[in-house]
């Protein structure tokens, strides 16, 4: 039994008065386990009657009496089947296992003797007598001698047995109480349970230490025999290997190999390469050993080809060669700005790394993870980082990788074995400090061949990758100088342990202004060159780019935008060739249909007017973000809630929460008190083919629902996002930047956000902040004050008879007051919330 820990307060427990212990305790019989005082033990409890005893003890003083069975095969022991002496223990912790058993952690307190055992409902209880070790006054010197003798024996035992933890030895040597010393030592021995029980029952300390000395001596002799056996086995293996090498040499000598001139020249060439290569000591020894084997083999044997390939790999890897880093921050900043527009946070992070490299020469390699939607420039940014640092760039794609050997390589025992992609990439880099891109790290999968993400744990751990082990190379390889960059579209598929080893840097979608700038600065020039055009042949205006972005692309990045510009360039090139004209073609927004056909996407626009039961929400998508309209219609019925528009489970629960909130505030908002009984409520989110889910539409649903019930329009220039609770609290949401950008694209001037999302405000571009007024709210009452329109509504045929025919009547009935707010210059009719 392994000791989990030794109590620090041994003395206090020994001085604890006997009166603190009761006369009877729940009893738990143990199989092949002896528990000693002052020691901590874990064990499993599976028998029902023992489980009941544990539960009873946990409800009282947490003390139980543990005693070992004489025979472990007995499942229902009686008093005669148990030893007479056991230990009173305190339960420190229990853990219930799904299979019904309980893992119990106890601390031994006192030896005790069983008087009698009796059944108490569903468990057994035992009357016990506390036992204390004794020694006669005139034999204390003899006891001291026995204690020293046993300590010396235990020191000898520890030399042969490395399984004893050092802290246990320190504790034993620093303990003065003989009883505690004996308990500590016997717990560390690999003695039989019956021998340990004998020590537990022995109350004469001198006899106890004599028995203990015998047990330790026996264990020392056993350990000596084990060591001798291991030494003989090792020598036998060495002898067998020596014989094998000699036999192989004899085969080479006896066999005529013909002309060996070229083969010997090749061996000499390898020797020269090994001498010139600056290899670590361990690698050098491995190369020399393999080369020695190669010399003794026939040149046409299959094994010689394997060894030659292996040596070539060892010599081709950069073991010590490093490229010189550029540490000029201004030049690096110029390169980053030249290659990419925006991306302020990432550029700052790279410049910080360069500054650290300039100050600390031994800085470790960085491990970054770029997370963002497709087309935002993650891969090209990694290449730009390598250029700014003056390092070589290596890229491997992990998309679809499902074999652990792809990362760590195959062992040389396999035919056609090769190193893993990491080592192959280092060979390609030629230096040991490249910028190494692991692309699409979220696209890996697993099967029966292993988990490649688990193999990456060592690669991407700064504390471990200085001795990365590849199955093929079989030597520790230092990756600590490599600047690792991984890319992913989302972090959800990435295992938590792997995610913890990387510094996440989010790259969200670009704003319209950023896309236009990127197109003007990079994409248009690139496509003109690739299609054989110049600026004199074609001009793509500012407004045309905005039109392309809004009507012909829907993405967070710029890949589709680049393809669309390329399509226009090809058509212009064809016109030039067919008509043999050199006239400059000016592409205007109104003429895009000629080059690109009908508009592909409906640009997200705000509602044309204030409408009843229609609220504008904000949604996050992989393409960056979009606005959605939530429509609510109240029709006569039986109280059904109808949800359409391909809504997910969480979205539907948000709708139910919004309905419950409206019902709870019906009187306060002047809603028909039994509207949920006499009417059906139909909630629809347009674009029904597009799946929609998430809790962030909660306040949008509630606003549209209350608007439909109260016949008060919702302002067309207000968009909102936030989760709602049944009490009307507005909870924070994610994807704030993308959602706000979608509102900006739709020319919406007011955005309602949860107050807890103020922390995300700094991520929103400055030009967007200047064009939108943000309202941070905590409750649904605040949302309604902002979003409900102050304009009067006309009486229509759809107004129910029991509803007021005008907004003024609604105000009067609901107790609404007209006042100015801090957010708007115009007067607003406020609900009495």
- The residues assigned a catalytic role are 696, 739
Q: To which H or E segment does residue 124 belong?
A: strand 123-131
E strand segments, 749-810: 750-754, 773-777
Nearest CA-CA partner of 623 in 371, 340, 374, 343: 374
The 3 state secondary structure assigned to 665-690 is CCCCCCCCCCHHHHEEEEEECCCCCC
The 3 state secondary structure assigned to 199-229 is HHHCCEHHHHHHHHHHHHHHHHHHHHHHHHH
CB 697 within 8 A of CB 654: yes
Nearest CA-CA partner of 563 in 575, 573, 553: 553
DSSP letters spanning 252-284:
HHHS-----HHHHHHHHHHHHHHHHS---HHHH
Cα(126)–Cα(113) distance, integer angstroms: 10
Cα(3)–Cα(168) distance, integer angstroms: 9
CB 797 within 8 A of CB 774: no
CB 676 within 8 A of CB 667: no
Cα(479)–Cα(462) distance, integer angstroms: 9
Cα(147)–Cα(208) distance, integer angstroms: 10
59 by Cβ neighbours in 10 Å (0-12 / 13-18 / 19+) ranks as: exposed
Q: How many CB atoms lie within 10 A of CB 233?
A: 10
Lookup: tokens for 733: 């949401």
Neighbouring residues of 480: CB distance < 8 A, sequence distance ≥ 6? 364, 365, 462, 465, 466
Distances (CA, A) of 24 to 108, 477, 606: 16, 63, 79
CB 293 within 8 A of CB 249: no
CA 758 to chain centre: 26
Cα(6)–Cα(229) distance, integer angstroms: 34
Helix (H, G, I), strand (E, B) or coil at 134: strand
Kindly give the pairing relationship between strand 63-68 and strand 24-30.
parallel
Cα(673)–Cα(681) distance, integer angstroms: 14
What residues form DSSP beta bridges with 131?
A: 111
Cα(124)–Cα(112) distance, integer angstroms: 16
Helix 166-173 vs helix 178-188: crossing angle, to nearest 10:
160
Nearest CA-CA partner of 202 in 175, 182, 173, 177: 182
The 3 state secondary structure assigned to 372-409 is CCCCCCHHHHHHHHHHHHCCCEEEEECCCCCCCHHHHC
Q: How many CB atoms lie within 10 A of CB 670?
A: 23
Cα(752)–Cα(772) distance, integer angstroms: 10
Lookup: tokens for 4: 């989990």
């Amino acid at each position: 039994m392994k000791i989990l820990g030794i109590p620090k307060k041994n003395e206090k427990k020994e001085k604890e008065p006997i009166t603190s212990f009761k006369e009877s305790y729940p009893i738990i019989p143990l199989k092949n386990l002896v528990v000693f005082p002052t020691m901590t033990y874990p064990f499993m409890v599976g028998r029902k009657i023992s489980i009941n005893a544990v539960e009873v003890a946990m409800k009282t003083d947490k003390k139980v009496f543990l005693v070992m069975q004489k025979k472990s095969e007995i499942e229902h022991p009686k008093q005669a089947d148990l030893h007479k002496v056991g230990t009173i223990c305190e339960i420190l912790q229990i853990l219930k296992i799904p299979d019904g058993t309980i893992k119990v952690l106890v601390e031994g307190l006192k030896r005790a003797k069983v008087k009698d055992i009796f059944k108490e409902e569903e468990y057994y209880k035992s009357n016990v007598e506390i036992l204390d070790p004794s020694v006669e006054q005139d034999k204390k010197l003899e006891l001291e001698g026995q204690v020293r003798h046993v300590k010396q024996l235990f020191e000898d035992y520890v030399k042969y047995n490395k399984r004893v933890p050092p802290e246990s030895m320190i504790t034993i040597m620093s303990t003065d109480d003989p009883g505690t010393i004996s308990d500590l030592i016997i717990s560390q021995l690999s003695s039989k349970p019956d021998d340990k029980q004998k020590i537990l029952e022995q109350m004469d300390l001198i006899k106890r230490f004599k028995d203990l000395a015998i047990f330790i001596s026996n264990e020392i002799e056993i350990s000596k025999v084990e060591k001798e056996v291991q030494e003989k086995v090792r020598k036998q293996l060495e002898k067998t290997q020596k014989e094998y090498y000699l036999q192989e040499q004899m085969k080479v000598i006896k066999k005529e190999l013909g002309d060996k001139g070229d083969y010997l020249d090749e061996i000499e060439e390898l020797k020269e390469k090994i001498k010139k290569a600056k290899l670590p000591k361990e690698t050098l020894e491995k190369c020399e050993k393999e080369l020695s084997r190669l010399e003794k083999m026939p040149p046409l044997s299959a094994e010689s080809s394997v060894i030659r390939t292996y040596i070539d790999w060892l010599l081709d890897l950069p073991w010590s060669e490093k490229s010189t880093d550029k540490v000029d921050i201004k030049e690096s900043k110029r390169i980053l700005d030249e290659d990419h527009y925006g991306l302020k946070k990432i550029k700052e992070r790279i410049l910080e790394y360069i500054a650290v490299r300039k100050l600390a020469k031994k800085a470790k390699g960085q491990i970054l993870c770029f997370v963002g939607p497709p087309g935002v420039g993650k891969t090209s940014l990694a290449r730009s980082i390598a250029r700014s640092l003056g390092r070589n760039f290596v890229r491997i794609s992990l998309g679809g990788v499902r074999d652990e050997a792809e990362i760590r390589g195959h062992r040389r025992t396999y035919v056609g074995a090769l190193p893993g992609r990491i080592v192959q990439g280092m060979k390609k880099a030629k230096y040991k400090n490249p910028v190494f891109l692991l692309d699409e790290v979220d696209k890996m999968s697993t099967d029966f061949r292993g988990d490649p993400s688990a193999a990456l744990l060592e690669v991407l751990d700064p504390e471990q990758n200085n001795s990365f082990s590849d199955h093929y190379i079989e030597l520790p390889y230092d990756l600590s100088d490599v600047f690792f960059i991984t890319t992913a579209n989302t972090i959800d598929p990435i295992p938590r342990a792997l995610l913890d080893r990387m510094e996440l840097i989010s790259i969200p979608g670009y704003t319209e202004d950023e896309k236009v700038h990127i197109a003007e600065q990079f994409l248009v020039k690139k496509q003109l060159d690739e299609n054989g055009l110049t600026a004199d042949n074609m001009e793509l205006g500012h407004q045309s780019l905005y039109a392309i972005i809004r009507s012909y692309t829907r993405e967070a990045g710029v890949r589709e935008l680049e393809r669309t510009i390329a399509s226009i360039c090809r058509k212009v090139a064809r016109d030039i060739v067919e008509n043999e004209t050199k006239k400059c073609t000016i592409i205007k927004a109104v003429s895009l249909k000629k080059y690109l056909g009908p508009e592909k996407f409906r640009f997200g626009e705000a509602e044309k007017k204030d409408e009843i039961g229609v609220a504008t929400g904000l949604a996050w998508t992989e393409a960056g973000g979009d606005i959605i309209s939530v429509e609510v219609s109240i029709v006569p019925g039986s109280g059904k809630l109808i949800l359409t528009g391909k809504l997910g489970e969480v979205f539907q629960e948000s709708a139910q929460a919004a309905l419950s909130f409206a019902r709870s505030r019906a009187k306060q908002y002047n809603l028909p008190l039994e509207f949920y009984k006499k009417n059906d409520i139909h909630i629809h989110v347009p674009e029904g083919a597009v799946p929609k889910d998430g809790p962030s539409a909660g306040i949008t649903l509630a606003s549209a629902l209350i608007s439909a019930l109260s016949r008060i329009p919702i302002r067309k220039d207000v968009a909102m996002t936030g989760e709602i609770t049944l009490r009307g609290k507005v909870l924070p949401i994610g994807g704030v930047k993308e959602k706000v950008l979608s509102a900006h694209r739709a020319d919406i001037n007011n955005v309602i956000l949860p107050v807890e999302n103020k922390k995300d405000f700094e991520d929103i571009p400055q030009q967007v902040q200047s064009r939108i007024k943000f309202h941070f709210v905590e409750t649904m009452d605040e949302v309604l004050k902002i979003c409900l329109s102050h304009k009067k509504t006309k009486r229509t045929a759809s107004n129910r008879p029991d509803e007021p025919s005008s907004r003024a009547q609604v105000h009067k009935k609901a107790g609404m007051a007209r006042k100015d707010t801090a957010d708007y210059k115009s007067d607003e009719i406020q609900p009495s919330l």
